[in-house]
Amino acid sequence: MSKLYYISQGQTPEQHLINIQLVAENGVDWIQLRLKNHPNEMFLATAQKALEICHRNGAKLFINDKVVIASEVSADGIHIGQDDISPVDAKVIFKKGLIGGTANTIEQCIELAKKEIDYIGLGPYRFTGTKKELSPILGVEGIRDIIVELRAKGYQTPVVSIGGIEVEDCKELFSIGVSRIAVSGLLTNKSADEIKSIVNQVNGLIKESI
């Protein structure tokens, strides 16, 4: 099982699907469809195709933001940002699946943990061009301090680190308690062999960090 969580990129829905298929076929088992600024009808059709690809390859599909669409296609999970629907309201619509949320501070993490979210997407680790409005950079020390405080307060919610992460960062992130590593540019537009190599490298680093 891979500990990578791929967040899709692409200039068109078709490119998103090509990238999703490549990572699903080469060992990534958590995949998020992040299709911004497209009509709901197009998003729905793309989500249905993405789900088929993921399930055919033993991967889970998460939908970014679009809770109703995630429910309609029976996705495996959703990811919601700070300015999106609250986890409490999301659970009313999306009843069967995992719910993740974005956080940048310990206060935001605690708020999400109190709402019994399934994972916290904590970041950014470093600068990334994937998001236009970037929260303050945390780095490894910031992520470690937040995880330590979160655990000290009794919250065991898994933490997924995100934001400009490279393969060489993964060992240290796993050693401080990160459960998964969310990546986008690291795997986008790569060949099957390149993706497989990255997945194998990360899996090897997990063993070294234990």
Structural domain span for residue 139? 4-209
- Residue 129 to residue 30: CA distance in whole angstroms: 21
- pLDDT tens-digit profile of 175-194? 999 999 999 999 999 999 99
Residue 178 Cα distances to 97, 101, 149, 206, angstroms? 21, 15, 13, 10
- Take residue 153 and report the two structure tokens written for it: 């307060």
Query: In this predicted structure, what is the pLDDT of residue 27?
Result: 96
Query: In this predicted structure, what is the pLDDT of residue 121?
Result: 98
Q: What is the mean pLDDT of residues 130-140?
A: 79
The band of 133, judged by pLDDT with boundaries at 50, 70 and 90, is low
The number of domains in the chain is 1
Give the CATH number, domain containing residue 90: 3.20.20.70
Query: In this predicted structure, what is the pLDDT of residue 21?
Result: 98
Tell me the pTM. 0.95
β-partners of residue 99 are 78
- pLDDT tens-digit profile of 43-92? 999 999 999 999 999 999 999 999 999 999 999 999 999 888 999 999 99
Q: Is residue 38 pLDDT above 60, yes or no?
A: yes
